Chain A
Amino acid sequence: MALLELRAVRKAFGDHLVIDGIDLSIATGEMTCLIGASGSGKSTLLKLMTLLEPVDDGHIYLDGQDISEPGLDPQPVRQRIGIVFQQYNLFPHMTALENTLLAPRRVRGRSAAEVTPEAEALFDRFGLADRMHHYPDQLSGGQQQRVAIVRALAMQPEIMLFDEITSALDPELVGEVLDVLRSLRAEGMTMILATHEMGFARELADRVCFLDRGRICEEGPPDRIFSNPSEPRTRAFLSRVL
Chain B
Amino acid sequence: MTGTPLTRRQVFEARQRRRATTIAAGSTCAVLAALVLLIPLAPGWEAVKRSFFNAEVFAKTFPGLLNAFLLDIAIFAWCAPLIAALGLLVALARDLRNPALYPLRLAAMLYTDIFRGLPVILVIYLIGFGVPGLGLPRPWNSPYIWGSLALILVYAAYVAEVIRSGIESIHDSQRAAALSLGLTPSDAMRFVILPQALRRVVPANMNLFIALQKDVALLSFIGPVEIFRQAGVYKSLMANFTPYVGAALIFLALTIPATRYADHLMNRQRKARS
Q: Which residues of A contact B (CB under 8 A)?
A: 50, 52, 74-76, 78-79, 82-83, 85, 87, 89-93, 102-103, 106-107, 151-152, 155
Q: Do the beta carbons of B182 and A83 come within 8 Å of each other?
A: no
Q: Do the beta carbons of A107 and B181 come within 8 Å of each other?
A: yes
Measured in the bound complex, the distance between the Cα atoms of B194 and A93 in whole Å is 11
What are 13 A-B pairs at a CB distance below 8 A? A52-B179, A74-B179, A78-B180, A82-B181, A89-B173, A89-B177, A93-B195, A93-B199, A102-B191, A103-B181, A107-B181, A107-B183, A152-B180
In the complex, what's the smallest C-beta–C-beta distance from B67 to chain A, in angstroms? 42
A155 partner residues in chain B, CB cutoff 8 A: 181-182
Q: Which of B11-46 contact A (CB under 8 A)?
A: none
Q: Do the beta carbons of A78 and B173 come within 8 Å of each other?
A: no
With CB as the reference atom, state the residue of chain B lying closest to A102. B191
A83 partner residues in chain B, CB cutoff 8 A: 180
A102 partner residues in chain B, CB cutoff 8 A: 181, 183, 191-192
With CB as the reference atom, state the residue of chain B lying closest to A88. B177
Measured in the bound complex, the distance between the Cα atoms of B176 and A74 in whole Å is 12
The 6 closest A-B CB pairs, nearest first, are A89-B177, A103-B181, A79-B182, A107-B182, A78-B182, A83-B180
Contact among A85, A90, A91, A103 for B182, CB-based, below 8 A: A103
With CB as the reference atom, state the residue of chain A lying closest to B187. A106
Measured in the bound complex, the distance between the Cα atoms of B207 and A4 in whole Å is 53
B183 partner residues in chain A, CB cutoff 8 A: 102-103, 106-107
Tell me whether B184 is interfacial, beta carbon within 8 Å: yes
Measured in the bound complex, the distance between the Cα atoms of B181 and A155 in whole Å is 7
Q: Do the beta carbons of A78 and B179 come within 8 Å of each other?
A: yes
B182 partner residues in chain A, CB cutoff 8 A: 75-76, 78-79, 103, 107, 155
Tell me whether B267 is interfacial, beta carbon within 8 Å: no
Q: Which residue, A78, A89, A151, has most C-beta atoms of chain B within 10 A?
A: A89
With CB as the reference atom, state the residue of chain B lying closest to A154. B181
In the complex, what's the smallest C-beta–C-beta distance from B207 to chain A, in angstroms? 22
Q: Do the beta carbons of A87 and B180 come within 8 Å of each other?
A: no
Q: A102-B181, A106-B191, A152-B181 are in contact. List 6 more A-B contacts (CB 8 A).
A: A78-B182, A85-B173, A91-B177, A92-B196, A93-B196, A152-B180
- Per-residue CB contact flags for chain B residues 162-188 toward chain A (1 = under 8 Å, else 0) read 000000000001101111111110010
Measured in the bound complex, the distance between the Cα atoms of B176 and A79 in whole Å is 14
Q: Which residues of B contact A (CB under 8 A)?
A: 173-174, 176-184, 187, 191-192, 195-196, 199
A87 partner residues in chain B, CB cutoff 8 A: 173
Q: Do the beta carbons of A82 and B180 come within 8 Å of each other?
A: yes
Q: Do the beta carbons of A75 and B184 come within 8 Å of each other?
A: yes
A75 partner residues in chain B, CB cutoff 8 A: 182, 184
With CB as the reference atom, state the residue of chain B lying closest to A106. B187
Measured in the bound complex, the distance between the Cα atoms of B184 and A155 in whole Å is 15
In the complex, what's the smallest C-beta–C-beta distance from A163 to chain B, in angstroms? 10
Measured in the bound complex, the distance between the Cα atoms of B183 and A76 in whole Å is 10
Measured in the bound complex, the distance between the Cα atoms of B180 and A107 in whole Å is 11
Measured in the bound complex, the distance between the Cα atoms of B187 and A46 in whole Å is 23
B195 partner residues in chain A, CB cutoff 8 A: 93
With CB as the reference atom, state the residue of chain B lying closest to A103. B181
In the complex, what's the smallest C-beta–C-beta distance from A76 to chain B, in angstroms? 8
Contact among B176, B184, B191 for A52, CB-based, below 8 A: B176
Q: Do the beta carbons of B181 and A50 come within 8 Å of each other?
A: no
Q: Do the beta carbons of B181 and A151 come within 8 Å of each other?
A: yes
With CB as the reference atom, state the residue of chain A lying closest to B193. A91
Measured in the bound complex, the distance between the Cα atoms of B175 and A78 in whole Å is 14
B199 partner residues in chain A, CB cutoff 8 A: 93
With CB as the reference atom, state the residue of chain B lying closest to A50. B180
B176 partner residues in chain A, CB cutoff 8 A: 52, 85, 89
B177 partner residues in chain A, CB cutoff 8 A: 85, 89-91
B173 partner residues in chain A, CB cutoff 8 A: 85, 87, 89
Measured in the bound complex, the distance between the Cα atoms of B178 and A83 in whole Å is 11
Q: Do the beta carbons of B181 and A78 come within 8 Å of each other?
A: yes
